[in-house]
Amino acid sequence: MDAIDVIRAKRDRQRLSDEQIDWVVDAYTRGVVADEQMAALAMAILLNGMDRAETARWTRAMISSGERLDLGAVGRPLVDKHSTGGVGDKITLPLAPLVATCGAAVPQLSGRGLGHTGGTLDKLESIPGWRAQLSTSEIAAQLRDVGAVICATTPGLAPADRKLYALRDVTGTVESVPLIASSIMSKKIAEGADALVLDVKAGSGAFMKSVPQARELAAALVGIGVEHGLRTTAVLTDMAVPLGRAVGNAVEVAEAVEVLRGSGPTDVVELTVALAREMLRLAGASGVNPAEVLASGGAYETWCRMIAAQGGSPDAPLPEAAHRHVVEAPADGVLQSLDAYAVGVAAWRLGAGRSRKEDPVQHAAGVLCLVKPGDTVERGQPLLELRTDTPDAVPAALAALDGGWRIGDDAPPAPPLIIDVLR
C-alpha cells in the first residue's frame, strides 16, 4: 500500500477498498502516513464523500486502532446517548441518572466544549471534587453499583480518531459527514454499549444548521450502527433556541438538578423524557415510565450517588460569578426570537467556553435566558443575565448578542422540539 495511491483513488472519486481503508488508518495512527498526506485524503473525502460501506469500514478501522471496553459483567442492559452539540444542552446530566433509575446502565463517555457549544465534562467539573478521568475498572464498578457514569474517554479508545480529529480541525475538513459520523461512532461502539440513542441537532446553535443536513448525518450514524450490530436510533431535535434557561457550566448543573428534583424548564424535561423513553425501549426496559420517575424526583438520589462516586460533593455550593450584567427589554411586546448561536458565543466570550482545547474555562461564567420566545415582556424588564469573573469580557458578549433577539407584537409559532426519529 502507498498513501499517494489511496489519496489519488479518492481524489478521482473511486471507492476505497477495505484493504486501503484498513491500511491507511493503521499507518496514520502509527505515524507511517504523514499529517499532510492524511490531510489531503481528508479533503478528498470531504469533496467526494464515501458510501455507506466505506464509512462503516472506516469506522471499523478506527475502532481497531485501540481497545474496546468490556462491560459485559455489569448485569444490566447497556445503553448510551450522544448529542451532536448545542447551546444549553445539559440533557446528559439528568438523562443518565434517570435511565439508570429506570433499570438500564449508562456508560456516558463525554467530552469538553470548544467554541460556542458547551462540554459535559466542563459542566460537571464545576462541582467541587468531581473528577472526569476514570479507569476502565472504575467505570465498570460504578456501572454495577450506581448504574450511570459520566466521564472522559479512556486514552486507549479509538486513538486514530483522536489524531484525525485534531488534524481535521486545522485543515478545514470538519464538515465531512462520513468523517463526522465515523468519529462519533468509532468511540461509541468501542465503549461496548448494547444500544445507542443519538440526539442530532439542527438550527443556528447546532453544527448542522439545517434539517436536511442533520437528517443526512443522522442517517449516516444510524447506518454505521446497523452495520456494526449496534441497536441505534437518531432523534432530530431543534437547536434554534437555547435549551432551557441556563447556558454555561455551573448554571447548567444547577438547572439539571432542578429537573432531577421534579421541576425545571419544560423543554429540558420534554427532551430528557423523550430520549429516556427511546433508550429504555432499545434496552428492553420500556415498562417503566421515565416521565413519572423524573417528576417524582426519584432520579435525584441516583444523581447524588453518581456524583459522589466520582469524588464530587452533590450538596456543595456551586461557583458564583463575581460580576453580573443584565440586558433589559428596550420596549413592550413579545420576545419573538432568541438565537442559540448568539447566546452560545456570548457565554463563550464570558469565559464559559474555550478557543483551544488547552484553554481553561470559568465554571461560573454563562448566560441566563430570563425570557424565552413567546413570553410577553415590558420595557426595562430583564431579558438576559450575563455572568463572568472578567468584567472586561462583557462588551464582547454584548456584541455577540447584537441582533440575536427580537421583540415584536405577536407571539411566534412554536416549532416542535423533536423534529423526527430515525430508526
Q: What is the DSSP string of 230-271?
A: -EEEEEEEE-SS-SSSEEESHHHHHHHHHHHTT-S-HHHHHH
Least confidently predicted of 86-100, 170-184, 309-323: 170-184
Which pLDDT score, from 0 to 100, does residue 329 have? 97
Examine the residue annotation and report whether 176 is marked as an active-site residue of this protein.
no
Residues of the chain with pLDDT > 70, as a percent, come to 100
Order across the sheet with 405-408: list the strands: 376-377, 333-338, 405-408
Task: Name the catalytic one among 116, 168, 349, 354.
Answer: 168
- pLDDT of residue 239 exceeding 80, the answer is yes
Q: What is the mean pLDDT of residues 412-419?
A: 93
- pLDDT of residue 195 exceeding 80, the answer is yes
Span 324-366, pLDDT tens digits: 999 999 999 999 999 999 999 999 999 998 877 678 899 999 9
**Grid coordinates in use for 44?**
478528498
Examine the residue annotation and report whether 355 is marked as an active-site residue of this protein.
no
Examine the residue annotation and report whether 82 is marked as an active-site residue of this protein.
yes
DSSP 208: B
Span 42-100, pLDDT tens digits: 999 999 999 999 999 999 999 999 998 888 788 899 999 999 999 999 999 999 999 99
Task: Name the catalytic one among 57, 60, 81, 82.
Answer: 82
Q: 112 pLDDT band (50/70/90 cuts)?
A: confident
Look up the CATH number of domain 323-408: 3.90.1170.30
Examine the residue annotation and report whether 112 is marked as an active-site residue of this protein.
no
Least confidently predicted of 62-66, 158-162, 389-393: 158-162
Task: Name the catalytic one among 80, 161, 194, 199.
Answer: 161
- pLDDT of residue 272 exceeding 80, the answer is yes
Does the structural domain 3-49 have CATH classification 1.20.970.10?
Answer: yes
Angle between helices 250-260 and 266-283 (to 10 degrees): 70
Does the structural domain 72-309 have CATH classification 3.40.50.1110?
Answer: no
Q: What is the mean pLDDT of residues 222-227?
A: 94
With 0-12 CB in 10 A as exposed, 13-18 as middle and 19+ as buried, what is 104?
A: buried
- pLDDT of residue 387 exceeding 80, the answer is yes
The answer to whether 72-309 and 323-408 have equal CATH topology is no
Task: Name the catalytic one among 126, 176, 183, 186.
Answer: 183
Which pLDDT score, from 0 to 100, does residue 356 have? 73
Q: What is the mean pLDDT of residues 167-195?
A: 91
Task: Name the catalytic one among 60, 81, 187, 188.
Answer: 187
Delimit the domains of the chain by residue range.
3-49, 72-309, 323-408
Examine the residue annotation and report whether 183 is marked as an active-site residue of this protein.
yes
- Please, what sign has the CA dihedral across residues 164, 166, 171, 174? positive
Least confidently predicted of 102-116, 272-286, 375-389, 403-417: 102-116
Q: Which residues contact 320 (CB under 8 A, 6 or more apart)?
A: 250, 364
Q: 117 pLDDT band (50/70/90 cuts)?
A: confident
Distance CA 360, CA 354 (A): 7
